[in-house]
Structures are given as structure tokens and as C-alpha cells.
Structure 1
């Protein structure tokens, strides 16, 4: 009797999930498992999971380092629940870039640990506007600083577009309060957040008349350097994109006709610190501004589609600021374009693409250029795909670095 009841419960559960189970070719957060908690579906929870697995070949690796390496680029679980039409809570956790160098013997190392990427609650002020608080991803600056990792067109996001990772936030997320909504075709998201005290420069101190260090909260205190402010605004000329969740779609694979123009900002008063000739410290405001445009549309009736994106971003992290080959005070132009080859939507589809970025760097009075060429093979839309990309980075006077990466992705 108990076994029969268990089977009946399982069958009922599957039927309740079936409308949203493994949505074929989904480009937004409509996949995964949705469980209705009442008859009209106003109370529910949804679970989404995805993984990205990399094999990289770097011909520029040192002699004692393998040129080919395997890694788990991302392993994530996201769940959100709507208690009613007013309240929603979201939880997103996982890990990133787990490889042979940082994996630990018994799974207790820092890189092996799951951590919260997002954890926030939201209250709907009306059908078009909401307020929320927590560890959130309602970012400013640009579309790519709000990029979903489920449906990128390129192998990965343009790294410099995630302009504050590890500097003022935890992996592109701040603890704070946000407002989001829309007025007709105009969408907005703005936030006030806490800046982190310990970041990628937790041990750095400014040198007399030297470059800025991103350590405002740590060195000057939370009163003067504890808050950040961000916003992004875009106008949807054609089909309307959802802003139910913050994650921007990378490619709709021809399922929508979208043309958006946007602009955004990030401001951290006294976020960076400089020292004068005698070592006296003072704060410098960190300000980042961007404008961008996104176009994604089918071409004709043969299943082909185009995806195109371009942005200009001005980065001011303080006087002659640099950190590795990732963050610099200067300007950036980035663009990518992809073409979905005609074909049957129920069969494997292919999408070749190109990407290019140019960054001016005040500290070295020189540029950084990155070129990428790749292709996606979609077996079930973004739910299961392979991506292959060749990239070439020339940073200032350094030798160019070329990398070939193969990615396998599954998302349920």
C-alpha cells in the first residue's frame, strides 16, 4: 500500500512539473522544475541547475606547466519562490573555476566551497515596480554587468564588463537595497549598497605619489567610503524583455525580436586611496559609466538569426589604477556579433561568432586588445550545447597570449 501511494505521489508530481520541465531551447529562466503550491500557480517554487566544463589549451604556458587543462567553470543551483503576487525570495549558490591547482584533498579548500551568489527578498510595489534587499545582482553600468551565465552567446562574458568583481562586491553581487521596474518600454534598476572592506587588494597600501589602491573602506572607514551607488536604464524598442529577474539574456536564438539601447553607472565615493609625496592618504571617487546597444532577431523564416552587441565604457578607478590585466583606469570599447545558421529547430544548430575589445590604459599610456572567434553547437537550445573559442590577448607591450577553449554546458 505504501509503495502504491509513493508511486501515485511521484506521478502526480511529474504531471505538476511537466509544463515547465526542461523547456526546449529556453533562453530565459523558464526551464528547470516548477512546483505549484496552489491550484492557480500563484504560490510556487522553481529550481534551476547548470554546469559548465572547460578544456583549455594555452600554447604560452611555461615549460613546467601543462598546456592543456580541465576545469569546472561553473556549478550552480538557483531557486526562487513566490509566496504570492507580492513576495518573492531567491537563492543562488555554487562554485567557480575549480581545477587541478585549487581543488583540495578532502573538499575543504576555499575553491571547493559552495557560496551564495545571490540571496534576496523582493516586494512588489505594483505590477511594474518592486523593491528588494539582500545579496543581489541588480547591477548598474551595462547589460553585460547584468549578464546571465545560462545563455551567453560568446564562450564567457567579457571580463572587464564585470567591472567591480572582487573590488567592491562579492562576485559581482553587493549587499544592499534595489528598486526595479518599468514605465512602458523603459526599464530601470537602481541600488544603494555596502562596499566590501576586504577585497582583491586587501594587503595593498598606496605609495607616495604612486597609483591608487582600491581600499577606501579598509583604509578610510565605512563613513566616508562604505557605500556604492549603481543604476542601469534601457529602452526596449521592439519586443519587451522580462525584468522579473536581473539576469540579461545573451542570445535569444531567434525566439524574440529585440533592440535595446541602454546606459548605466557605478559610483563609489572615496572607493580608492592615493598617497601624496609625504604619504598622506586621501580618497578618490571610483566612477564607471557605459552606454550600450543590443540587437537580437530572426532573419526570414528559415530559422536563422543574428545577435549583436556593442558598448563603450569609461572606467575611473583612481589615479593610474591597474590590477593585473583586468582592471584599469581608462576607456573600453567592446562588441560581438553572431549568426545562427538556418536549420530545423528540433535538430542541432550552429552559431559562429566574433568578439573584439579595445581598452585604453592610463597607467601605461597604451592599449589592450582582445579578439575572439568561436562557435556554438546547440543540441537543445541553451540547455545543452558545446562552445569552441580561440582568443588572442595583447596587453600593452606584453607578448600576445592565445588560448583555445572547449566548453560543454548542461542546464536543467
Structure 2
């Protein structure tokens, strides 16, 4: 049995490097703690640096015009996996997001976006293909996008509304709770019961009598009425079955796998939202989100060509007429993207892509449309790449925002 788990582990992490198109990476940084390799520490580190041009930036806090070009650290992360025996796994993930000139602090302390805990969970295997676990985890429901990893995105970044609960019921798309996940034949599943965060993006908001909901259920109604969330995602593999040892979904395999998955998922937070009547009395409203999606990633031809395509429909109900900035709203989302790895003999591979979103916004009786076109240059698969993307967002009657971003990424 130990030999079997060792073989599975070696194949998994060798595949993790190879399946993302790197000819050099191999199994990465893995430190065996016994001769059999059944006890180990696995380390993954990555950084994404952005240079972004936007001629439509609003005035800063002092009323001054902002520059068209800026630089930022989009992500800097370290992920640790520790297996103490064949049945137990510990995952710890720390990182930083979106550090720029406005969010830096004089001494690296204070309110800036410093390193914080992304994931911290422990897991117990139940048989060869199933497991249960608990902690601060990323075994999310709803869709592939809501479980997207950031090591191997095909587009520059995930569609923000794809992380549909980020900052509302969780800590940066992670909940504290319990989960079960596994594979049954060609079907993979992940389900969870979690605590809803008390402190969220609307922690200072008080619902008014305009009929619009606020995401303040746990804070205003208490943990008994609004303290738990429920989520699940289920996908069926028509071709190869993906690994689900880790929750982070691959964005593009660059032709090293043959994948066609169809999925469906949900998120439910009873009394997660709150509305106020004309007299100011508040009551809870259920938050419900569900989605259908499909992911297609296959090699094309014999010279390294590949096509990656993803489509998703998401119906989102955050409560009556809910809207938070230009990020979250009760309504619906249709998203699609497609990319093509150009075949050739060179180690450097080019992957042009396009993406499109349409959001229907209930409270505005209007829509938001976002278009993106870009290209990845892979020097060693996803382990070393450059991404250039042009993105255009038209949100209801607001001015169109056009952005050009160049990203450099390395992960080891």
C-alpha cells in the first residue's frame, strides 16, 4: 500500500509540473522525510509582477490626476504541503496580493496588503479517492472559476465575479469549515459546510429602507440565524480525469492533457443578506448562487498545438437589488474564453486568447460587458511566462474603461 501511495504521489507532482507545459520543472521542490517518500514537505513559490497602463484613472484622494502607468506586485505566494503518513495531509498557504505605491506602508506594517494566511487545512484520506478535511480551505462550490488556481491562468487573471463570495462570506475566497471531496468513476465532487465571515466588505454598512439588500446577515442577525454557508461543485469528465489532490483548478494544460469536463455547483447562505422595510425593521434574505460550466483543453496536431476553451453561466442572488460597486450584483453572468497554443519546434510557445463577459444587473435594469484580448509567451510552460492583455469594460452607463497590462510570472 505504501508503494502505491508513493507512486501516486510521484506521478501527481511530476504531472503537475509537466501538465502545465514545462519541459524543465519536473517534480519541483519536494523534500522526503523518510526513505519511502511517504513523509515529505512540498514547497511551491510564485510571483506575478504587473505593469499596467490606463488613461482613464479617476482622481486620487487629494483630487490630483493619477499617472497612466503604474507597477505592482499582483501576487507573491508560498504554498507548503506536508504529508505525515499516507492518510494525512496538511496544507499551509501564505501570500500577498496587489501591493502598489498606494498600498505600501513606511515600515511594511499597518493596513497595507501584507502577507496573510490564505489556506490552512488538515485532511484525512477515506480510501484511495476520497477525503475529508477541515480548516481555512479553498474547496469551494459554484464553478471551476470559483476554484481557479493562480499558478496557471490562461487569461491575465480570473474574472472577478467568478470568485463570487470573495470578501462577502469568506477571507479571500477561503472559508473556515469542513469539506469532503473525491472521485467516483468519472465524477468528481467537493462539498463543504462553513462559517460565514462576520467582517466583510460591508461590515460598516447599515441597510436603509430603499429596498436594497446588504450582505450583513451574520453581523446583524447573529450566527444562529446566519452563521453557516453551504457549497458544492460536481463535474463529469468525458475524457481524462483531472487530479483533485489540491483544490486549485488548472487554467490551461497547454496540450499535455485531454480534458473535457462539464460541471455544476452552488453556494447557499441562509439569511446572509438583510433588507429593511419602511419603518427600518430588518429581516434576512437568503443568498443563493448556482452555475453551469464546461472546460475543454486538448492537444491539436503533432507539433504542440493546443486549444483551451471555457464557458460558464452563473445566476447570482445576493438579495433584493443588491449591488456593491461594480463588482457584485444580484443578476446573472455569462463568461467565455478561448485560447490557442501555436504549434512549432521552439521551446518558447505563444498562446493568443480572447475573453468576453456579460453581466445582467437587476437593480440597474442594465448590463456590464467586458472584452479581453491577449497573448501568453511561455518560456518554460507556466513556470516562466509573460502575458500581455488589453481589456475593455463598459459598466451600465459609466464610461468605458480600457486597460493594458503586461505581467511577468515565475513559479518554482
Same fold (TM over 0.5): yes
Q: Cα deviations across residues 80-134 of structure 1 (Å, max 9, x unaligned)? A: 0111110000000011000000101111133242111000000001111100000
Shift of 1:24: 5.8
Structure 1 residues without counterparts, runs of 5 or longer: 1-15
Q: Name the residue aligned to 1:324.
A: 325
- Indicate conservation of the 8 Å contact 1:181/1:188, yes or no: yes
Count of aligned positions: 394
Pair 30,227 (structure 1): closer, same or farther in 2 beyond 3 Å: farther
Q: Which residue of 2 aligns with 1:161?
A: 162
Checking the alignment, whether the CA contact within 8 Å between 2:19 and 2:257 is kept in structure 1 is: no
Q: Distance in 2 between matches of 1:129 and 1:272?
A: 34
The question of 1:375 aligning with 2:375 is answered yes
Structure 2 partner of 1:89: 90
Partner of 2:356: 356
Query: Does structure 1 retain, via aligned residues, the 8 Å contact 2:19–2:256?
Result: no
Q: 2:6 aligns to what?
A: none
**Does residue 103 in structure 1 map to residue 104 in structure 2?**
yes
Aligned to 2:387: 387
Q: Between 309-318 and 200-209, report the one with greater CA deviation.
A: 200-209
Stretch moving more, 58-67 or 138-147:
58-67
Asked whether the equivalents of residues 20 and 254 of structure 2 are also in contact (C-alpha less than 8 Å), the reply is no
1:22 Cα offset (Å): 11
Deviations 1:219-247 (A, max 9, x none): 00000000000000000110110000000
Alignment deviations for residues 113-170 of structure 1 (CA, whole Å, 9 cap, x no partner): 2111000000001111100000000000000100010000000001100000100000
Q: Is the 8 A contact 2:21 2:255 kept in 1?
A: no
SS in 1 for 2:224: helix
> How has the CA–CA distance of structure 1 residues 310 and 53 changed in structure 2, closer, same or farther, with 3 Å as cutoff?
same
In structure 1, distance between residues paired with 2:323 and 2:26:
40
- TM-score by length of structure 2 reads 0.93
Q: Distance in 2 between matches of 1:287 and 1:24?
A: 38
Query: Secondary structure of the residue that 1:83 maps to in structure 2?
Result: strand
Is residue 344 of structure 2 the alignment partner of residue 343 of structure 1? yes
User: In 2, Cα distance between the equivalents of 1:403 and 1:239?
Assistant: 37
**Aligned equivalents of 2:163, 2:86: Cα separation in 1:** 32
C-alpha change, 1:92 and 1:393, in structure 2 (3 Å) is same
1-structure distance, mates of 2:264, 2:344 = 35
Change over 3 Å in CA distance of 1:159–1:315 after alignment to 2: same
SS at match of 1:287: strand
Is 1:33 the counterpart of 2:29? The answer is yes
Q: For residues 271 and 124 of structure 2, what CA distance do their matches in structure 1 show? A: 32
Distance in 1, matches of 2:77 and 2:122, equals 19
Q: Determine if contact 2:288/2:316 at 8 Å carries over to the other structure.
A: yes
Q: Deviations over 1:18-43 (max 9, x none)?
A: x9699467469975300111222111
Q: 1:25 to 1:70 in 2, by over 3 A?
A: farther
Distance 1:125 1:30, change over 3 A: farther
Cα RMSD between the aligned structures? 1.8
Please say if residues 21 and 32 of structure 1, whose CA atoms lie closer than 8 Å, have aligned partners that are also in contact: no
SS of the equivalent of 1:296 reads strand
* Residue in structure 2 matched with residue 50 of structure 1 by the alignment: 46
Distance in structure 2 (CA, Å) of the matches to 1:195 and 1:32: 35
Distance 1:25 1:239, change over 3 A: closer
Give the match for residue 179 of structure 1. 180
Alpha-carbon distance between aligned partners in 2 of 1:112 and 1:220, rounded to the nearest angstrom: 30
Structure 2 Cα separation of the partners of residues 361 and 197 of structure 1: 26
The runs of at least 4 aligned residues of structure 1 exceeding 4 Å deviation read: 19-25, 27-31
Q: So what's the TM-score if we normalise by structure 1?
A: 0.93
Match of 1:6 in 2: none
Counterpart Cα distance in 2 of 1:60 and 1:264: 37
SS in 1 for 2:391: strand
Q: Which residue of 2 aligns with 1:306?
A: 307
Matches within 5 A, 1:188-203: 188-203=189-204
Change in Cα spacing, 1:113 to 1:47, as seen in structure 2 (3 Å) is same
Q: Which residue of 2 aligns with 1:401?
A: 401
1:22 to 1:174, Cα distance in 2 relative to 1, 3 A: closer
